[in-house]
Amino acid sequence: MTIIEKIIANHSSQETVKPGDIVDVFIDARAARDFGGANVVENILNNGLIVHDASRTFFTFDCNPGGSDQKYAANQHFCRLFARQNDIKVYDIDAGVGTHLAIDKGLAYPGSTFVSTDSHANIMGAIGSFGQGMGDQDIAAAWAKGSVWFKVPESVKLILKGTRPANVRAKDIVLNLLSIYGANKLLGYSVEIEGDAVENFSLDERITIASMGTEMGAIIILFSPNEKILAELQARSGKQVETIKASADAVYTFIHEIDIEKFVPMVANPGHPHDDVSVESVKNTKIDSAFLGSCTNGRMEDLREAASILKGRKVAPGVVLKIVPTTDAIWREALDEGLIQIFKDAGAMVSNAGCAGCAAGQVGQNGPEEVTISTGNRNFSGKQGKGAMYLASPGVVTASAIAGYITTPDDIPEIAASFTKPAVKHREVVVREKTEKPEIIEGSAWVIRQDDIDTDMIFHNRYLTITNIKEMGQYTFDNLKGYEDFAKKAQTGDIVFTTKNFGAGSSRQQAVDCFQSLGVSAIIAESFGAIYERNAINAAFPILTYTSGQLEELGLEQNDQVRINFKTGELTNLTKNKSLNINKFYDAQMQIYKNGGLL
């Protein structure tokens, strides 16, 4: 078996598993954040459930450390009260990013399973652990049952050949990979990365690469820990850990060899993490602000590199450099090593540990027209503010903050450019009705031929405070160019047809619930983002997939009348009198659908 197959088999009732198997997977550590945590508690309480094992259950308050927003503060307090009543450990607003805490404190370890309301919980792949981001209902089920259903994904292997260039950092490696595979060529796969160069990757570097598996559409990026990584994990957590490796005869859907010697320092252009170009091609682009942090960077190695570049220098006039360490332990280590002093002397702002602007709950947001260069993992339009955001490595971000424009550490000018900057936003609870569910539906077609429609386009994070489903529909697609008026035009029973990787990005449930609010009856796509697919199925919202070319076969056009049979997969264009079969509901999906939802 592959690494993921071994981990899933070890945590199920099966001796072996294969791709496509649907099994109940026991979860070693089950976390909920301040964003989503309150909804998890509401789901537990509203369904009369109890916590299965408090010792394996955790809150991690990393989205808004400080509770600086009233709704976040209320949700955090609500969760704290529930935690006290149920003996649940809270890693509170002073602790840092939950996924990093899980690694450093040994909540996750090689071969273990971990779930969180964080869509980057697959960061656990850095240590050979199976981590998954999941929606509120999934996490509630894990808390109440101790396990969740999961479909075993296909595995692929990427072998990095050659010697890494000296100026290529971990962030550059993952941006190079994104430039090769985009947001959907690895969609739904478990990706194992190995090779001679990989053996020398530090823990911090593995975390950086694994954390952007979500942006590549992958279920997870997995590294098999070597002796050096095992020793570091043991030193951090105090736990004896062992490595996990794929069997010699493991079966992969494909194996690709990639020449790492051809990798160059990269940036992601504003709008998409997979729109990647060399740093050289965008050099001298003026910036207003720079951000170093997020679950992708903000580890000690990142902070040390930034400090080595900043020492004796100043941030450019008019530029704001915001630095957010991932955990409080790293913050303290940076303090002890004198890095915080270097940052402050250079004119940087250093915030307490947490997710920062990526979760819209801390420093790191940018305003309209503001240009930012960031070490974050996502730069979807509007994700971290209303401005433009480039993604890059800590070294490039730091050098650019000093220069006032995008540049590299070996090309920092004597005199910086100078200019200006602008503003920000924030998150709330849900109740579902159970009704008899039809197996055959008819409706009018919306045909949206666009790949990689992410959850910020579907339901923007500025509306995350809305938890009443009835209020959600009006905001559907209002951040998707060309469809801003979708909510005004959509009719009850309409069916949306789209292409690849629909629902990429965040784990937010609202991106599913907004369609239910409008009365949209189904979404049909070539493929779905992994978390979005689970959220839709668990909410009893019909989604199906089709094979490339089938919409053309049907001659499907906007406003055509269509009929879909969930049980057989028969799709009929009633307007053109044409039928074919797409992928039907699988059994677990039908069972959840008929039940009115997972819970």
Q: Are 574 and 442 in contact (CB under 8 A)?
A: yes
DSSP per-residue string spanning 432-444: ----PPPSEEEEE
Q: What is the mean pLDDT of residues 500-517?
A: 94
**Which of the four pLDDT bands, split at 50, 70 and 90, describes residue 73?**
confident
- Residue range 10-30: mean pLDDT, rounded: 97
- The H or E element spanning position 246 is none
Tokens of 152: 């075993």
Q: What percent of the chain has pLDDT over 70?
A: 96
Q: Report pLDDT for 424.
A: 43
Most confident of 61-75, 267-281, 356-370, 483-497: 483-497
Per-residue buried b or exposed e for 549-580, using 16+ beta carbons within 10 Å of the residue's own CB: ebbeebebeeebebebbbeebebbbebeeeee
pLDDT at 548 over 50: yes
- Would you state the pLDDT for residue 380? 78
| pLDDT exceeds 90 at position 273 | no
Share of the chain above pLDDT 90, in %: 83
Q: What is the pLDDT of residue 566?
A: 98
pLDDT of residue 355 exceeding 90: no
pLDDT tens column, 96-117: 999 999 999 999 999 999 999 9
As a dihedral over the C-alpha atoms of residue 57, residue 62, residue 63, residue 64, rounded to 10 degrees, the angle is 120
527 Cβ contact partners less than 8 Å away, ≥ 6 residues apart: 184, 187, 188, 500, 501, 502, 545
Write down the pLDDT at residue 465. 80
Predicted confidence (pLDDT) per residue in 417-440, tens digit: 866 444 444 445 555 556 789 999
Residue type at position 195: G
Mean pLDDT value of segment 190-218: 95
Q: How confident is the model at residue 141 (pLDDT cuts 50, 70, 90)?
A: very high
Question: Tens digits of per-residue pLDDT, 216-243?
Answer: 999 999 999 999 999 999 998 888 889 9
Residue 252 has pLDDT above 50, yes or no: yes
The CATH number corresponding to 266-403 among 3.20.20.100, 3.30.499.10, 1.10.390.10, 2.30.110.10 equals 3.30.499.10
pLDDT at 419: 60
What lies within 8 Å, CB to CB, of 474 at 6+ separation is: 487
| Predicted confidence (pLDDT) per residue in 308-331, tens digit | 999 999 999 999 999 999 999 999
Which among 26, 17, 1, 16 has a CA at the least distance from the CA of 244? Answer: 1
In the prediction, which pLDDT does 433 show? 58
Is it the case that residue 2 has pLDDT exceeding 70?
Answer: yes
Nearest alpha-carbon partner for 382 in 394, 393, 392, 372: 372
Common-topology check for domains 266-403 and 440-594 = no
Q: What is the distance between the alpha carbons of residues 347 and 330, in angstroms, rounded to a whole number?
A: 20
Give, in degrees to the nearest 5, the angle at Cα 415 between 413 and 419: 110
Gap between the Cα atoms of 239 and 475, Å rounded: 47
Domain 3-262 sits in CATH at 3.30.499.10
- Report the pLDDT value the prediction gives residue 426, as an integer from 0 to 100: 45
Instruction: Give the pLDDT band (50/70/90) at residue 16.
Output: very high
pLDDT tens-digit series, residues 36-53:
899 999 999 999 999 999
Asked whether the predicted pLDDT for residue 452 surpasses 70, the reply is yes
Amino acid at 500: K
Q: How many residues does the chain have?
A: 599
**CATH number, span 440-594:** 3.20.19.10
The pLDDT mean for the chain works out to 92
In this prediction, residues 561-589 reach a mean pLDDT of 97
Is the pLDDT at 402 greater than 50, yes or no? Answer: yes
According to the model, what pLDDT value does residue 369 have? Answer: 86
Q: What is the DSSP string of 462-527?
A: GGTT---HHHHGGGTTTTSTT-TTHHHH--TT-EEE--SSBTBS---THHHHHHHHHT--EEEES-
Looking at per-residue pLDDT, the higher value among 338 and 119 belongs to 338
State residue 434's pLDDT score. Answer: 60
For 176-191, what is each residue's pLDDT tens digit? 999 999 999 999 999 9
Rounded CA separation 29/108 (Å):
7
Write down the pLDDT at residue 440: 97
- Listed by start position, the domains of the chain span 3-262, 266-403, 440-594
**For residue 415, pLDDT beyond 90:** no
What confidence score (pLDDT) does residue 417 get? Answer: 81
Q: How confident is the model at residue 65 (pLDDT cuts 50, 70, 90)?
A: confident
Q: How many CB atoms lie within 10 A of CB 416?
A: 18
Please tell me the pTM assigned to this model: 0.82
Q: Which residues pair with 532 in a beta bridge?
A: none
